[in-house]
Amino acid sequence: MAAQRSSRALRLALRQASAPRVQQRTFISAVNAASRPAVKQAAVSSFVQQTRGAKTVDFAGDKEKVYERDDWPRDKLLDYFKNDTLALIGYGSQGHGQGLNLRDNGMNVIVGVRKNGASWKEAEQDGWVPGTNLFDIDEAIGKGTIIMNLLSDAAQSETWPHIKPMLTKGKTLYFSHGFSPVFKQQTGVEVPSDIDVILVAPKGSGRTVRTLFREGRGINSSFAVFQDVTGKADEKAQALGVAIGSGYLYKTTFEKEVYSDLYGERGCLMGGIHGMFLAQYEVLREKGHSPSEAFNETVEEATQSLYPLIGANGMDYMYAACSTTARRGAIDWSKKFKDTLKPVFEELYDSVKTGKETQRTMEYAGRKDYREAFEKEMEEIREMEIWRAGKAVRSLRPENA
């Protein structure tokens, strides 16, 4: 595809895509950061300030309340959790990001992990001190009032029979994924009936949760209530969402969070896009194009030029930044791709909802050799021609020279 790299529109787009995103702190500043007057006008007039500071935003005709950091300034958070001990169980990607953000926000937070496991060592490296704010899992749960279960989803199921009796009345159980309680038939995670059960699910890896917090921004997260025995579960979830480093919080249910998450990562976010890259690349190679040409036209231009434009200002903006030739063909073919792929997405959603995907995940993660099996698959991907070509293409970038 030939994008008009010299066009004024593209230069403007690139400037915007690379503008410091720290400016986009609130909905107002995010909207102001967009250059198109029509969009600016529409978005600014589409939200109304609520008394608590939450905003009702018009998402394409669907009015939804969005909660943000400003609703929970630090003093309010400290006061709200003044009698709580937040026991963060597990110190993987989310444990690291959420835990450090909670600590920096001044919360009374402790970490509970297997003694002398990989996470224990990582927690020590991050400054958690054994016996002070780093404990084994049982001790941390015993001390905690809010138990943040950030074990891997498979481990949540495996450890549940042991953990459940420790979740006594008065405690709150927190997850970052609806996986365990929603698919309780498979996971066995039947929550006690006398505790609040809530969720905050950051829309990104724990590393991003941490990076965005350190940049003074915040990740988008969804939050939900599975069980509300105190009448305060909803506000507790919002407050925790801000305390762990979320910028904006969108309300959902445990079911919707887990269905959309499992569906999205298997679809456009990871599996679908990988499949589409492979299909396009293979045809180019079969038609006699070189690996570098096939890679540049499939992955490099997508990730380095066009997808950032979609991310910055939307699909129409990306189209507008490209040549008439590219635009005409892309819009025409998008319909065929959509019609062809929609049945696959329908099949995928059903596979998620019926628990087939969960079952497969549990079986896979439950295998003793799953780390080796995973590494073998990564090795196979690394060794695919497309990704070897990509490595060579990336090596030419100035920062890698």
Ligand X SMILES: NC(=O)c1ccc[n+]([C@@H]2O[C@H](COP(=O)([O-])OP(=O)(O)OC[C@H]3O[C@@H](n4cnc5c(N)ncnc54)[C@H](OP(=O)(O)O)[C@@H]3O)[C@@H](O)[C@H]2O)c1
Residue ranges binding ligand X (CB under 6 A): 90-95, 113-114, 117-119, 150-153, 155, 158-159, 176-177, 179, 201-202, 205-206
Q: What is the dihedral of CA 87, 91, 96, 101, to 10 degrees?
A: 0
Share in percent of the chain as helix, strand, coil (round to 5): 60, 15, 30
Clarify whether 177 is annotated catalytic: yes
DSSP state letters, 44-100: HTTEEE-TTS-EEEEETTEEEEEEEGGGS-HHHHHHHTTT--EEEE--SHHHHHHHH
Of 7 and 208, the one with the shorter C-beta distance to ligand X is: 208
* 323 labeled part of a ligand binding site: yes
Q: How many helical (H) and strand (E) elements, i.e. helices and strands, does the chain have?
A: 22, 11
Alpha carbons 154 and 364: distance in angstroms, whole number: 9
Question: Which of these is catalytic: 162, 177, 274, 289?
Answer: 177
The reply, when asked if residue 380 is annotated as ligand binding, is no
Nearest in space to 260 (alpha carbons), one of 247, 269, 273, 272 = 269
- Closest approach of ligand X to the CB of residue 389, in Å: 27
Indicate the residue among 202 and 247 with the shorter CB distance to ligand X.
202
User: 351 a known binding residue?
Assistant: no
**Rounded distance between C-alpha atoms, residue 31 and residue 43, angstroms:** 7
- Residue 265 annotated as lining a ligand binding site: yes
Minimum CB–partner distance for residue 276 and ligand X (Å): 22
For ligand X, the closer CB: 95 or 245? 95
Residue 304 Cβ vs ligand X, minimum distance, rounded to whole Å: 23
CB of 252 to ligand X, least distance (A): 13
- CA neighbor of 261 nearest in space, from 187, 190, 205: 205
| Three-point CA angle 57, 44, 252, nearest 5° | 15
Residue placing its CB nearer to ligand X in the complex, 16 or 205: 205
Residues involved in catalysis = 177
Residue ranges at the known binding site for substrate: 323
Binding residues: 261, 265, 297, 301, 323
